[in-house]
């Protein structure tokens, strides 16, 4: 089986396999790099790493329109249910099944807050997604941490890693993350959206491919890559 991974800008992705779509962190409205409109998406599930606005994005509107569940950690999922979204609230270590696949919540080192009051619904997560016969890790916003080696034991076809620095790990730590995760393919994200996170993804690609056996695929917003 194959899964197509489409970069929608910043940390937003759409996965497509066997006619089904899953979206991750669909921050589109207000995203300077957005490569889709919320109404273009018709997912069977919406997966969230954490509560920050550049990740929750249009989740509630997409869920209300399509009925797709937002799958998130417990407090965030419960909070978004109060906003009218369909949700499935889980937590670290747990695996949630959706139509055509599953997502397991794993740790991420970051913060997680929402809205002008900086409500803090829960803690951030990484996502190990099984879909279209592939295993894909979305690190979410995180720094480097040693337990990425355990996540690597999941057998990753693809790792999607932030490289922006400032709010997450930067390129040098992301190369170290690749060494721990041992994915076949790496796709960088969470860079060049805003001034503090300007990076050269081609320099990151060169570093990854010089230091590890992984292949790095740099996607422009709107581009896609198919994992065969
Ligand atoms: Ni964040
Ligand atoms: Mn972020």
* pLDDT-derived band at 118, boundaries 50, 70, 90: confident
Dihedral-angle region of residue 25 (phi above 0 means left; psi in -120 to 50 means alpha; beta otherwise): left
Ligand 2 centroid to Cα of residue 55, in Å, is 6
Mean pLDDT of 176-198: 98
Q: Which ligand is nearest to the CA of 162?
A: 2
Q: Which ligand is nearest to the CA of 124?
A: 1
Check pLDDT > 90 for residue 1: no
Q: Which ligand is nearest to the CA of 111?
A: 1
Ligand 2 centroid to Cα of residue 35, in Å, is 17
Q: Can you give the residue range of the structural domain that contains 179?
A: 3-227
Q: What is the pLDDT of residues 70-91, one digit of tens each?
A: 999 999 999 999 999 999 999 9
Kindly state the percentage of the chain with pLDDT values over 90.
95
Check pLDDT > 90 for residue 120: no
- Report the alpha-carbon distance of residue 86 to residue 59 in Å, rounded: 10
Ligand 2 centroid to Cα of residue 141, in Å, is 6
Ligand 1 centroid to Cα of residue 50, in Å, is 7
Mean pLDDT of 125-133: 98
Helix (H), strand (E) at residue 206: helix 201-211
Ligand 2 centroid to Cα of residue 54, in Å, is 5
* pLDDT-derived band at 121, boundaries 50, 70, 90: confident
pLDDT for position 124: 97
* pLDDT-derived band at 42, boundaries 50, 70, 90: very high
What beta strand segments (E) does 48-124 contain?
Answer: 70-73, 87-90, 95-98, 101-107
Residue scoring higher pLDDT (113 or 15): 15
Q: What is the pLDDT of residues 4-35, one digit of tens each?
A: 999 999 999 999 999 999 999 999 999 999 99
The residue length of the chain stands at 228
Considering only CA atoms, which of 181, 149, 188 is closest in space to residue 165? 188
Helix 171-181 and helix 201-211, axial crossing angle in degrees, nearest 10: 40
Q: Which ligand is nearest to the CA of 76?
A: 1
Q: Is the dihedral of CA 115, 48, 199, 223 positive or negative?
A: negative
Give me the number of domains the chain comprises. 1
* pLDDT-derived band at 224, boundaries 50, 70, 90: very high
Q: Which ligand is nearest to the CA of 10?
A: 2
- Report the alpha-carbon distance of residue 228 to residue 225 in Å, rounded: 9
Check pLDDT > 90 for residue 122: no
Q: In the predicted model, what is the mean pLDDT of the chain?
A: 97
Domain CATH code at residue 16: 3.60.15.10
pLDDT for position 31: 97
């Amino acid at each position: 089986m194959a899964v197509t991974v489409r970069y929608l800008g910043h940390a937003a992705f759409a996965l497509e396999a066997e006619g089904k779509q899953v979206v991750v962190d669909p921050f589109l409205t207000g995203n300077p790099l957005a490569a889709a409109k919320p109404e273009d998406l018709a997912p069977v599930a919406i997966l969230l790493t954490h509560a920050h606005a550049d990740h929750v994005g249009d989740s509630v509107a997409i869920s209300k329109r399509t009925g797709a569940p937002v799958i998130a950690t417990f407090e965030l999922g419960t909070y978004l249910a109060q906003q009218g979204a369909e949700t499935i609230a889980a937590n670290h270590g747990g695996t949630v099944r959706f139509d055509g696949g599953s997502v397991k919540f794993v740790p991420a080192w970051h913060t997680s807050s929402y809205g002008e009051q900086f409500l803090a619904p829960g803690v951030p997560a990484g996502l190990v997604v099984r879909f279209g016969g592939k295993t894909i890790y979305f690190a979410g916003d995180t720094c480097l941490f040693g337990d990425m080696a355990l996540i690597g034991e999941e057998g990753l076809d693809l790792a999607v890693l932030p490289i922006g620095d400032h709010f997450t790990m930067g390129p040098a730590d992301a190369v170290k993350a690749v060494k721990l995760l041992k994915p076949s393919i790496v796709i960088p994200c969470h860079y060049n959206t805003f001034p503090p996170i300007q990076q050269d993804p081609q320099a990151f690609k060169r570093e990854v491919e010089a230091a590890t056996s992984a292949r790095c695929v740099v996607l422009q917003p709107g581009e896609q890559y198919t994992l065969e």
